[in-house]
Amino acid sequence: MPVIKYPRVRDPLFYEWDRKAQKSGLRHTIYAVNGDQYTGEWLDNLKHGKGTQIWKSTGAIYSGDWKFGKRDGYGSYSILDPVTKEYRRVYTGWWENDRRGGRGMFFYPNGELYEGEWSNGLRSGWGKMHYKDGSTYEGQWLSDQHNGQGLLRLPNGNRYEGGWKDGKKHGPGKYFYPDKGQLLEGIWVADIPKCGVLVDFGRDNAPDPTQFPLPEIELHDPAGVLAEARATFDDSHN
């Protein structure tokens, strides 16, 4: 009995083309229509895993972790200097949902540096900022501003320790003047000291002390006065 052979049923060619176009696993460089290029790992047509992206319009480059098409995990972002044509590091650290999130270091064009925590692309949490004038701030941040408890050190050695709100000294704090050998302890509101006690502090070792020491003022309970002022401040801001 003769054997009848039927032609093998094959899927349409576009099925095969679509299968080959699907990106999963490690791939060579893929170029987008706008000229951006990506080299790295994929999952279901999304950048996922380790990879490097270069944006054609700006020349910026990101190398690090990806999750479902977004920068997520640890990575480094650099931009191309238009003058030197060399890459300048901008941020190295952790990312969440395509934004800076977690701990990281940000390098500003003017030479300033922030190292600390981020949330939704903004400085939030605990961090330290090195300013171009030589001053530093270390403490709590919220939405890119000093907020909470922090320490500000100035180039001349003076420092402020205490509360902050919206980037300004706010609440109980201490301002040290080691150059003069004095200390101001009091309550600040929007960068302005509203009340406090100024005393000599390390005056004998100060490089530029005042001509005369501060006179001692007899207070029945100086600590109680400040405590009462703090309580009044807290009540008025709750």
Q: Report residues of the chain scoring pLDDT below 50.
A: 14-15, 17-18, 220
d(C-alpha 192, C-alpha 155), whole Å = 20
> What architecture does CATH give domain 109-229?
Single Sheet (2.20)
**pLDDT value at residue 182:** 87
Which region, left, alpha or beta, applies to residue 231 given φ > 0 means left and ψ of -120 to 50 means alpha? alpha
Q: Report which of 149, 197, 155 is spatially closest to residue 175, judged by C-alpha positions.
A: 197
**pLDDT value at residue 29:** 87
The 8 Å CB, 24+ separation contacts for 184-192 are 185/226, 186/226, 186/229, 187/226, 187/229, 187/230, 187/233, 188/162, 188/163, 189/233, 190/165, 190/166
Query: Which tokens sit at 33?
Result: 């229509």
**pLDDT value at residue 15:** 44
CATH of 13-107, one of 1.10.3470, 1.25.40, 1.10.10, 2.20.110: 2.20.110
Q: What is the DSSP letter of 55?
A: -
**pLDDT value at residue 165:** 97
CB under 8 Å to 102, separation ≥6 — which residues? 93, 94, 95, 96, 117, 118
**pLDDT value at residue 17:** 44
CB under 8 Å to 65, separation ≥6 — which residues? 49, 50, 71, 72, 73, 74, 75, 95
pTM of the model: 0.79
Q: Among positive and negative, which fits the CA dihedral 141, 199, 178, 156?
A: positive
Q: Are strands 99-107 and 113-119 parallel, antiparallel or unpaired?
A: antiparallel
**pLDDT value at residue 163:** 98
Q: Domain residue spans in the chain?
A: 13-107, 109-229
Phi, psi of 131 (to 5 degrees): -90, 160
Which region, left, alpha or beta, applies to residue 227 given φ > 0 means left and ψ of -120 to 50 means alpha? alpha
42-62 pLDDT, tens digit each: 998 899 999 999 999 999 999
132-181 pLDDT, tens digit each: 999 999 999 999 999 999 999 999 999 999 999 999 999 999 999 987 78
